[in-house]
Structure formats: C-alpha cells, structure tokens
C-alpha cells in the first residue's frame, strides 16, 4: 500500500500554474496521535475509532504514526467524500496489524 507520505498535494495559483506541495515533515508522537484520535472520536465511524485504538496499542513506526495523524487532522472539517477516503485509508492501515 502506498503511504500518504508518498503523495503530493497539487494546488493551483489561479493562473493555470500548478504547484506540488509536499506534506508536513513533523514527527508526531504516539501521544499526539492518540490525542488526535480521541479529539476526532465523535466524527469517526465507531469501527474506525475502535480499530485505531487497538492498532495503536502495539508499537508502530514513526511513518505510520505520522500518516495516521494526518488522516485524522481536521477530519471533522472534511466533506463526506474526503471522510470516506480517509476512512478507507485508515481501515487499510489498521487491518495490517
């Protein structure tokens, strides 16, 4: 599975130019990820939240922690289509355990 870190976000300047912006390079701790998961609990499908908690009970490498954090970041503000995309990606990650 291709991880989020490998993806680029494209944005337009309004005059037809497209810029590629790589994502954040900050490492997020397990505590940060668990806090973000708890913060978004009310907006997440119950099965995603519960499988996320189980998944994070085992030691995870930094890249996975960062990917989960960014899937959860501003989840509450995402539209339905974006939430479904993130749910799918989190489901794939959490099923790897």
Higher pLDDT, 88 or 23: 88
Q: Is 0.85 topped by the overall pTM?
A: no
Helix 80-94 with 46-56: angle, nearest 10 deg: 40
pLDDT tens digit string along 14-67?
444 443 334 577 999 999 999 999 999 999 999 999 999 999 999 899 999 999
CA angle 23, 20, 2 (to 5 degrees): 55
pLDDT in tens, 66-85: 999 999 999 999 999 999 99
């Amino acid at each position: 599975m291709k991880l989020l870190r490998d993806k680029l976000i494209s944005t337009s300047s309004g005059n037809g130019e497209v810029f590629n912006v790589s994502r954040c390079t900050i490492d997020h701790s397990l505590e940060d990820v668990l806090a973000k998961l708890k913060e978004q609990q009310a907006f997440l499908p119950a099965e995603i939240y519960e499988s996320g908690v189980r998944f994070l009970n085992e030691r995870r490498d930094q890249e996975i922690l960062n990917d989960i954090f960014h899937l959860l970041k501003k989840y509450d503000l995402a539209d339905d289509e974006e939430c479904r995309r993130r749910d799918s990606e989190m489901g794939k990650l959490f099923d790897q355990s």
